[in-house]
Structure 1
Amino acid sequence: MRIPNIIGPRLVRLARRLVWLAIIAFALLVLFAWLKPGRQDLPWTPLSLSEPIGMSTGRKIVKLSEDREECMALLESSGLEFTPAEPFGADQCRVEDAVRASSGQPLLPLAPASVAPSCPMAVGLLIWQAQVVQPAAQDILGSKVSRIENFGSYSCRRMYGRSEGSWSEHATANALDVSGFVLEDGRRVSVLGDWFGGDDKALFLRRVRDGACDLFSTTLSPDYNAAHQDHFHFDLANRGAMGWSACR
């Protein structure tokens, strides 16, 4: 009578389980090494305006489009003086959550101040201004930014002004085109005039562009194409659970 050889297969199965456990343990170690305390890496924690930008910050900002009350509460907690705009537009261009910051606001010094981006866009701009723009300006140019010049937020149109195809995020004020910056010492930094300058102004523009890539769904600069030679395009397109972003 032969006794089945079951020791070998059992050892093989055990070895496989140990290998998978080792892989999982290594992946967890890598994950926890990447997740830094105080940074907004975890997707299930609330969005904070003050915590350092993390892997999940951009997706949290996009998700604010699903909760207008939460978005408005975040803006109020920031200390920003703003006025909710009356709903405007129709159909694909209907905007119900636009906000307008009071003129001369240091927290969001948009010029012209009459621009009215969506509430989530205003939240993203607040974080970008505080955690990216101002630190970069002081570090590279030695002065704070007093005005962020822009070409506007709302425009009822399809992408690239085409007669058909996908609607632009500008159609719902979920975007902003930034053309330049004015410093407190009076100097002006222009996307059109300084992007290819090769000096500190160009370095500043690249740093604020790169920082925007961690916050907005789409960040386009002169590196993308000729249509963006004079401005940065930022938007909060909702691209689903994966939340992939475009950065050029």
Structure 2
Amino acid sequence: MRKLHLTLRRLVLLGGALILLFLGYAWLRQRPQDLPWTDLDLAQPVGLFTGRKLAALTNDAPRCKALLDRAGVDHVAMKPGGADQCAYADAVRLRPEAGAITLAPASVAPSCPVVAAFKLWEWQVVQPAAQRIYGQPVRTIRHFGSYSCRRMYGRSQGDYSEHATADAIDIAAFVLKDGRQISVLNDWKGQGKDAAFLRAARDGACDLFSTVLSPDYNAAHRDHFHLDQAERGATGWRACR
């Protein structure tokens, strides 16, 4: 009798596990962005593997540009430039679009994977946070540039920065629709709306970029967010500070 009870108990537990597995699979099928083997779609919400898929675009410029086209992102592909450790071949420049955030200066041309992540950041993170906190959208994002042929931290030796291949952009400030500016340098500290917005923007970027560095990282980033799409992000090795 005891063996029968144990058998029945195991069958009940197994049945419960199978039901949970089925329900979990059914839920995941409704969220392809949470599965590692599904294709990236910029129209979908941010999922568990969105960041990895974005980083994987570093070695697939045609696919990246096709994703931008499919999402309706108005852009122009730039000619390859640079040389050796500072060569780039997938830079794109965003064209002004009605209702979209503009970059200032507008001439910046990051790599396609950075632009793809930037647009998702705009749609899924920055604008929702601005509407929630300020009741209005962001009109412009000011930056310190993307491409720069240099090593990390400006050193004379060591690894090259992701800026050397246009795989990074440094974000300095956000300008709201009414003209109000929220800057990383002046508004990061504190407990008010501006600090809350900047932290929401930083935290949301961590799901989309391989590396996100803010004033919490070191003094060199006291006035900007460093966002990059290093190849290592495709394997899940990410940095968020």
- The TM-score with structure 1 as length reference comes to 0.85
Q: Which residue of 1 aligns with 2:177?
A: 184
- Deviation of 1:107 after TM superposition, in Å, equals 3.2
Q: Aligned pair 1:147/2:148, yes or no?
A: no
Q: Which residue of 2 aligns with 1:5?
A: none
In structure 1, C-alpha distance between the alignment counterparts of 2:234 and 2:205, rounded to whole Å: 20
Q: Which residue of 1 aligns with 2:230?
A: 237
Partner residue of 1:109 out of 102, 112, 129: 102
Q: Which residue of 2 aligns with 1:74?
A: 67
- Deviation of 1:25 after TM superposition, in Å, equals 6.5
* Deviating 4+ runs (over 6 angstroms): 24-27
Q: Which residue of 2 aligns with 1:130?
A: 123
- Shift in CA distance, 199/97, structure 1 to aligned 2, threshold 3 Å: same
Say whether the 8 Å CA contact 2:51–2:210 is kept in structure 1: yes
In structure 1, C-alpha distance between the alignment counterparts of 2:21 and 2:184, rounded to whole Å: 42
Partner residue of 2:165 out of 172, 175, 188: 172
Runs of 5+ consecutive residues of structure 1 not aligned to the other structure: 1-17
Correspondence list, 1:24-103, <5 A: 35=28, 37-38=30-31, 40-103=33-96
In structure 1, C-alpha distance between the alignment counterparts of 2:29 and 2:199, rounded to whole Å: 25
- Deviation of 1:64 after TM superposition, in Å, equals 1.0
Q: Which residue of 1 aligns with 2:3?
A: none
Query: Could you report, residue by residue, the CA deviation over 1:62-109 in whole angstroms, capped at 9, with x for unpaired residues?
Result: 111221111111111222221111111000110111011124664341
Q: Which residue of 1 aligns with 2:151?
A: 158
**Matching residue's letter, 2:224:** H
**Matching residue's letter, 1:148:** I
Q: Partner of 2:133: helix, strand, or coil?
A: helix
In structure 2, C-alpha distance between the alignment counterparts of 1:32 and 1:152, rounded to whole Å: 43
- Deviation of 1:33 after TM superposition, in Å, equals 9.5
Q: Partner of 2:144: helix, strand, or coil?
A: strand
Q: Which residue of 2 aligns with 1:15?
A: none
In structure 2, C-alpha distance between the alignment counterparts of 1:108 and 1:52, rounded to whole Å: 19
- Shift in CA distance, 121/105, structure 1 to aligned 2, threshold 3 Å: farther
Say whether the 8 Å CA contact 2:55–2:233 is kept in structure 1: no
Runs of 5+ consecutive residues of structure 2 not aligned to the other structure: 1-10
Q: Which has the higher contact order (CA 8 A, sep 6+)?
A: 2
- Deviation of 1:191 after TM superposition, in Å, equals 0.4
- Deviation of 1:210 after TM superposition, in Å, equals 0.4
Q: Which residue of 1 aligns with 2:4?
A: none
Q: Which has the larger radius of gyration?
A: 1
Say whether the 8 Å CA contact 1:220–1:232 is kept in structure 2: yes
- Shift in CA distance, 167/92, structure 1 to aligned 2, threshold 3 Å: same
CA RMSD of aligned residues (A): 2.7
- Shift in CA distance, 242/103, structure 1 to aligned 2, threshold 3 Å: closer
In structure 1, C-alpha distance between the alignment counterparts of 2:222 and 2:22, rounded to whole Å: 43
- Deviation of 1:128 after TM superposition, in Å, equals 0.3
